[in-house]
Amino acid sequence: MPNVRQDGMDRRYLRRVELEEGQSPLPGGYPFSLPAVRELESLDFHERVTYIVGENGVGKSTLLEAIAAAWGFNPEGGTLNFNFATAETHSPLHRHIRLIRGTVRPKDGFFFRAESYYNVATTIDELDKEPRGGRIIDSYGGRSLHEQSHGEAFFATFMHRFGPNGLYILDEPEAALSPVRQLAMLTRIHELTRSGAQFIISTHSPLLMSYPDSRLYNLTAAGIQACRAEETEHYIVTREFLNHRERMLSQLLDGEDEAAGSRHEES
């Protein structure tokens, strides 16, 4: 069993997410029309790393946001102590799911959202203007996240703020990371999982989704399927492009040139 260690103990902080049973039918429209929501019954999480992947628009971020909000995180990201709200844009999905928690409680946690991390950095700076018992930024490396590039700020959080025995929910953390930094992040994930951390990660990166001791769910218009990283479209397209770059570029660009010429003639 991948979720039970050799000592026989289930160390997951978050075991499963389920749609609430016994409720009235789910509302129509967004986000309940998204494939990730429409086909969701339950998802079992791996003890160490669970990946949620899929094409844009299937509902990966919406599902991750709901899981984080149901756990108690700020929908815009941060620790459980962050309660700011730049804009009330999160979906009501968190009210329609149930989290099955483990018997062990995490000592730390963080919800990382690439798209709203600027707001987290701003909140830290604002709170540190009148620090209470120490500066928050010291646990992120000591340097304002706004004084760093996006990639540096992201990586500083992973390296300094994340620690052992924590639950970390990450939405597209690779957004500002170079390939080298993504590989370094894999090393950091390995260090933390060996120290009792659990990760749930939404990603488009074939590099980041390659951690071996993990479970991967692929979200498509047809539903949710468990698979290997090598079976995802992300991996297959990247591999084909790297192995057959000239041929693929020729197909992509020559086809676009022909279409542009046709549009020009018609005009």
- In which region does residue 220 sit, left (phi positive, over 0), alpha (psi from -120 to 50) or beta (all else)? beta
Q: How far apart are CA 105 and CA 167, in angstroms?
A: 9
How high is the pLDDT of residue 249? 92
Q: Answer whether residue 209 shows pLDDT above 70.
A: yes
pTM of the model: 0.87
Over the range 107-139, which residues count as b (16 or more CB within 10 Å of their CB) and which as e?
ebbbbbbbebbbbbbebbeebeeeeeeeebbee
* Angle at the Cα of 237 from the Cα atoms of 235 and 238, rounded to 5 degrees: 65
The tokens of 50 are what? 């669970």
pLDDT, tens digit (0-9, with 9 covering 90-100), for 125-178: 988 998 777 899 999 999 999 999 989 999 999 999 999 999 999 999 999 999
CA nearest 39: which of 60, 56, 13? Answer: 60
The tokens of 111 are what? 């919800």
Q: Answer whether residue 27 shows pLDDT above 70.
A: no
| In contact, 67 and 40? CB cutoff 8 Å | no
Q: Answer whether residue 179 shows pLDDT above 80.
A: yes
CATH of domain 14-230: 3.40.50.300
Q: How far apart are CA 86 and CA 126, in angstroms?
A: 13
What would the mean pLDDT of 236-261 be, rounded to a whole number?
Answer: 83
Task: Share the mean pLDDT of the chain.
Answer: 86
Q: Which residue has the higher pLDDT, 21 or 5?
A: 21
Cα–Cα separations (whole angstroms), residue 71 to 20, 110, 111? 15, 11, 10
Q: Answer whether residue 11 shows pLDDT above 80.
A: yes
Q: Answer whether residue 2 shows pLDDT above 50.
A: no
CB under 8 Å to 122, separation ≥6 — which residues? 146
Q: How confident is the model at residue 1 (pLDDT cuts 50, 70, 90)?
A: very low
Q: How far apart are CA 82 and CA 91, in angstroms?
A: 18
Percent of the chain predicted with pLDDT > 70: 87
Percent of the chain predicted with pLDDT > 90: 58
